[in-house]
A and B are shown apart, each in its own frame.
Chain A
Amino acid sequence: MTQIRENAFWMSGNEALALGAVEAGVKVASGYPGTPSTEIMENLSTYEGVYTEWAPNEKVGLEVAIGASFAGARALATMKHVGVNVAADPLFTASYTGVCGGLVLVSADDPEMHSSQNEQDNRNYAFAAKLPMLEPSDPSDAKEFLKIAYALSEELDTPVMLRITTRVSHVKGVVYKGETVSGNPACGITKVPEKMVMLPALARGRRVYVEERMKKCRELAETADFNVVEPGDTKRGFITSGVAYLYVKEAFPEATVLKLGMCWPLPEKKIREFAASVDELYVVEELDPFLETHIKAMGIDCHGKDLIPNQGELNTAIVRESIEGKKKADLFAPVPLPMRPPNMCAGCPHRGIFFNLSKLGVFVSGDIGCYTLAFLPPLSAMDSCVCMGASISIAHGMAKALGADGHNKVVSVIGDSTFMHTGVNSLMNTVYNNSGATTIILDNSITAMTGQQQNPASGRSIKGEHAHGIDIEGLCRAIGVKHVFVVNPHDVPETKKVLKEAIALEEPSVVISKAPCVLLPEMKERKPVSYFTNQENCVGCMACIRLGCPAISWTAFGEGEAEAKGFKAKQKGVSKIDEILCNDCGQCASLCKFNAITRKEEK
């Protein structure tokens, strides 16, 4: 964040939420990284006076927050939308227990799937778990709403969900610093079994309370100032929330708007009055017809998903054009261009594994992380990817389905953070129920995809301080894996030998690919020596090109060019290493059989 005037700061929605947590007096915060939520915790960890941590997964993170709340602290759990699926078990019952200190779960949804495997609409969780949910529209709202969420949580004895989307998290705007809440009660142990011990007899009691609480919350929603009517032209009236509100304001600046800061539960009276005050009612929301369904259930007629898409992000043009029914005619059409998808970095250790897998003819059950990029050409070495941790269990299931010779047809590939997240449970199953599918753990010592977060195996805490680093090899052995191999993935031919040996085994086996992410600070600080091509030796075999390294490129020869340059007439071209981009991993050199790639100091 950057100060621009007295008290006014320029910051992202995620930075604003971190500041909001500090101003609300949050004492304990736990989360698991995931775009677009990650920077909330990263920023919060830089403040004094609040305990922050990366949990191994979202379920653990939420449970830590529940514990802190039980001990009387204001507590926060942050995660991306799919993380709430992992945390759903504690979430649904925490709805019954309620809270001691205020408890907020921030769910960061990703409409359009900028960095996600699905675009689920987590407002449905508020309905299903019977919890209040606030939905800010921009960074300034985000900070205020988080503070409101804590007050509500304590007043109504309930966890509160706060839903943001990519265009709140990663949008920057002007935010004003506010007062830090004082007088939050001190922490301590209070035993309240009827609230904290959710066995059937007691849960039934709390079940009744949940309904009473939601009734109270609905009443409060009628008068709360986060649900506001903005007066205006009543020919068209809009009910909206979250970022959709911003698009409505730009598309129909004259119109009256009911902005719902709380998207669950809904203020029925207020909605009825608003509906009655306008000629035509439009509900504008991203993704599911959530508000629309519940408004229609009140017997109120409105437009919604009959006009507005239920997939992807909205924007001002989509909102205006869906409602007015006409498209801007004079837009330039896109020009076809070669795609520029993201790629693994030059020197990425994952590349050495996938280059080999692309040649081994196995089904690669993949997982989520930087390594998912191995799906793209030229490696094209991932055959499935569902959710975090699933690679190992899916490979096991396939091996069981394939029967006796399944064990050498399927491998799973999983990152260190993802293995800690939920992969370890799956590996227990592979051992317990005995399948020979090989598990490859890509240990690059960090959670790379989401921007370099520490994890339980990396040896550092969220603040970068020393922490116990779990020994992945020892853990696999403790689970009962008898065949554990550790390889240096940069030595491509050696890695191939080990992979072949492990895959051939009928018993469960694990190959740990151990080499640090090139984006780690210690890797960036080291002075990498670059490799270069002795082009006179290059025979154009393309072995190095097939690695798909961004530092290596191919120059095709024109008619007669090969001979003119002294190469064999049928040679199609030569490869070249960009020495600025090269990160000194040596995978290409380990593949080159013609002495055409040399490390700089070796010449």
Chain B
Amino acid sequence: METTGNILFSGVGGQGILLASEITALGLLGAGFDVKKSEVHGMAQRGGSVTAQLRYGKKVYSPLIEPGCADIQVAFEMMEAVRYLPYLHKGSKVVVNTQRILPPAVATGKAVYPEGLVEQLTERGIEVVPVDAFDIALSVGEVRTANVVLVGAMAAFMPVDGAIFEEAIRTRVPERFLEVNLKAYRAGRDQSK
């Protein structure tokens, strides 16, 4: 791979973005890429908007994605799919969890949750894959695997064999949660087919 691939993860603190980006990174490393990943800890984790940025290629220097250069965005929440629009470009692929998490201003009745979010993306030529990750995770038997469902849905767009992410899940997830996470991953993958 000559150019560097850029994946942006966005969502709400506490949704499991770090694990999802970690599995993605380990998969890509397993496929022989150089990878760098940037996270923000601290203040951002108390239910605020969070991102993780992942870059992979032959040799990666910068850990940060340039605006307009994210090839794939994995959004864990509807509004967080649109918040980072300046990072996307025409043709970017966005895997979006259709869940809505109300920010404080909305929960307290001071603002309304915006409608037509998916259209905001599609009308700019961005390809959107909506995934009801919460429901799928529930159906495989563990709501906390919604993040892995999204990794599965994302994997379909990657230039590598999907099995490498299963390998990454094996490395990263404790034995007793392994089966359910693999199920979640495969169910997510089926969404993008």
A positions within 8 Å CB-CB of B: 2, 4, 10, 12, 35-36, 38-39, 114-115, 138, 166-167, 170-174, 243, 245-247, 249-250, 313, 315-317, 328, 330-335, 337-345, 370, 373, 376-378, 449-451, 542, 545-546, 548, 550, 552-554, 556, 573
Q: Complex: how many Å from CA A313 to CA B62?
A: 12
**B43/A35 in contact, CB under 8 A:** yes
Chain A residues, Cβ within 8 Å of B29: 4, 10, 174
Instruction: List 4 tightest A-B contacts by C-beta distance, closest first.
Output: A115-B42, A35-B42, A342-B48, A342-B46
**B43/A554 in contact, CB under 8 A:** no
Provide 22 A-B residue pairs closer than 8 Å at the C-beta atoms, listed in order of the A residue: A39-B41, A167-B38, A167-B64, A171-B39, A173-B63, A316-B62, A316-B64, A317-B66, A328-B67, A330-B68, A332-B85, A332-B86, A337-B82, A339-B105, A341-B48, A343-B47, A345-B46, A373-B46, A376-B104, A553-B106, A553-B107, A556-B109
CB neighbors of A among B90-124 (8 A): 102-114, 120, 124
**A554/B107 in contact, CB under 8 A:** yes
A114 and B43 in contact, given A315-B62, A334-B86 (Cβ under 8 angstroms): yes
CB neighbors of A among B40-56 (8 A): 40-49
From A167, A377, A542, contact of B104 by CB (8 A) = A377
Q: Complex: how many Å from CA A103 to CA B114?
A: 54
A250 and B61 in contact, given A173-B36, A378-B108 (Cβ under 8 angstroms): yes
Q: Complex: how many Å from CA A315 to CA B87?
A: 13
Q: Complex: how many Å from CA A270 to CA B185?
A: 53
B positions within 8 Å CB-CB of A: 12-13, 22, 25-26, 29-30, 34-49, 60-64, 66-68, 79-80, 82-83, 85-86, 88-89, 102-114, 120, 124, 171-172
Extra 13 A-B pairs, beta carbons < 8 Å, given A378-B110, A548-B108: A38-B41, A114-B40, A115-B41, A174-B29, A247-B61, A313-B64, A332-B85, A333-B85, A334-B86, A378-B108, A542-B109, A552-B107, A554-B108
From B46, B60, B120, B171, contact of A2 by CB (8 A) = B171
Report the minimum CB–CB distance from B168 to chain A (whole Å).
Answer: 9
Closest chain A residue to B34, Cβ basis:
A174
Report the minimum CB–CB distance from A558 to chain B (whole Å).
Answer: 12
From B45, B64, B79, B171, contact of A340 by CB (8 A) = B79
From A10, A247, A450, contact of B62 by CB (8 A) = A247
Q: Complex: how many Å from CA A570 to CA B180?
A: 49
**B66/A342 in contact, CB under 8 A:** no
A340 and B43 in contact, given A173-B36, A334-B85 (Cβ under 8 angstroms): no
**B42/A36 in contact, CB under 8 A:** yes
A342 and B82 in contact, given A2-B172, A550-B107 (Cβ under 8 angstroms): no
Chain A residues, Cβ within 8 Å of B88: 332
Report the minimum CB–CB distance from A366 to chain B (whole Å).
Answer: 15
